[in-house]
A = this chain, B = another copy of it.
């Protein structure tokens, strides 16, 4: 018995095509013509359904932050130290395995995208995750300022290492166990 497939709307086709191109080639693979060609439609749909290319980048940006947010979730019933280090490993895994998203968020690789208010809400949410992450590392009566400082500290180290490796420093130390070195530094900050 043949099941009738619901035909994809053009909007869905465009979003699927954009995601596929993005995952394969990053932001620079996302020209409106390439997306439209891959979706089998004309470019005008990108403007009617997404208000232009930025609308697509918006969805991907929010997706990227959702990944980061998920990585930073910690379980407060676990040992704080172990839980925090595991979260850091997850963050580094995500940066490595989702490079297109990561680079979109941090303005890399030709991404001139400027996030809207709605997209900025994604960073607010991720930071909330980082704050609760920081909470488990501090005494219960720690101030909000202390939590923010700890969150910033960890995030700076995480992001700094990801970015340096990608840009100019990674190839300067080919023999270095990059992940090991960064995890050591994080351990200092976490204990």
Interface of A toward B, CB cutoff 8 Å: 28, 65, 105-112, 115, 120, 123-124, 127, 145, 148-149, 152-153, 155-161, 163-164, 166-169, 171-173, 175-176, 178, 181-182, 184-185, 188-189
Bound: A18/B9 CA distance, A: 47
Report B-chain residues with C-beta under 8 Å of the C-beta of A166: 107
Could you say which of B127, B156, B173, B185 contacts A172, with CB atoms under 8 Å apart? B127
A156 engages B161 (CB within 8 Å):
yes
Q: A105-B168, A172-B123 are in contact. Are A28 and B112 (CB under 8 A)?
A: yes
Q: Report yes or no: A106 in contact with B167, Cβ–Cβ below 8 A.
A: yes
The oligomer's copy count stands at 2
Give 20 A-B contacts (CB < 8 Å), ordered by A residue.
A106-B108, A106-B163, A106-B168, A107-B108, A107-B109, A123-B168, A123-B172, A145-B175, A152-B164, A152-B173, A152-B178, A152-B181, A152-B185, A155-B164, A155-B169, A156-B156, A158-B160, A159-B160, A159-B163, A188-B188
- Complex CA–CA separation, A173 to B126 (angstroms): 13
User: With contacts A145-B176, A158-B160 known, is A127 near B169, CB below 8 A?
Assistant: yes
- Asked whether B107 lies within 8 Å of A153 as measured between CB atoms, the reply is no
**Nearest residue, chain B, Cβ from A168:** B123
Which residues of B are found within 8 Å of A111, using beta-carbon distances? 110
Alpha-carbon gap, A178 to B155, bound state (A): 13
Report whether A156 and B167 are in contact in the complex, using a CB–CB cutoff of 8 Å. no
A84: shortest Cβ distance to chain B, in Å? 15
Q: Is the CB of A169 within 8 A of B112?
A: no
Measured between beta carbons, the chain B residues less than 8 angstroms from A176 are 145, 148-149, 152
Query: Distance (Å) between the CB of A22 and the closest chain B CB?
Result: 16
